[in-house]
Amino acid sequence: MLENRGVVDCLSPNERSQIMARVRSKNMRPELLVRRVVFALGYRYRLHAKELPGHPDLAFRRRKKVIFVHGCFWHRHENCPLARMPKSRTDFWEAKLEGNRQRDEKNTKMLRRAGWKVLTIWECELKDTTRLERRIGRFLDA
């Protein structure tokens, strides 16, 4: 066990690094769930459009709409229990997570300025699939 600023970590820095390296940015369970819902509703989309700011998870080019699926922790969902701050290395995490939040905000502004409509779906909102279907349907039909 290693102690870092008074907080005990039961993993070595190398083990912790290996675990964090496995955290993916694409094709995670929340994103796959949203994709299944969108496909079941009859909509077709492009994945991770590289030409758009922020590489939205789903892009509907003809409709000029995009959907981002954000993890509450990584993207700092306000007032969400899943967005808690880690107890160790708080300086690192505060800077890292705040940078993610600011980048998301910048990308959303750039997309809107370019005429795109943006929907952000948070990880904690995926529990109620009926509500999720209605929300996505309203967004894409509007």
- Average per-residue pLDDT in the chain? 88
Burial of 69 (0-12, 13-18, 19+ CB in 10 A): buried
Burial of 57 (0-12, 13-18, 19+ CB in 10 A): buried
**If pLDDT is split at 50, 70 and 90, which confidence band does 12 have?**
confident
Instruction: Identify whether the C-beta of residue 114 lies closer than 8 Å to the C-beta of residue 56.
Output: no
Instruction: Identify whether the C-beta of residue 104 lies closer than 8 Å to the C-beta of residue 75.
Output: yes
**If pLDDT is split at 50, 70 and 90, which confidence band does 13 have?**
confident
Mean pLDDT over 62-74 rounds to 95
Q: The pTM is what? A: 0.81
Report the pLDDT value the prediction gives residue 41, as an integer from 0 to 100. Answer: 96
**140-to-37, 66, 91, 122 alpha-carbon distances in Å:** 12, 9, 40, 17
- Domain 24-141 sits in CATH at 3.40.960.10
Mean pLDDT over 93-121 rounds to 96
Report the pLDDT value the prediction gives residue 16, as an integer from 0 to 100. Answer: 67
Domain ranges (residues) in the chain: 24-141
Report the pLDDT value the prediction gives residue 14, as an integer from 0 to 100. Answer: 79
**If pLDDT is split at 50, 70 and 90, which confidence band does 134 have?**
very high
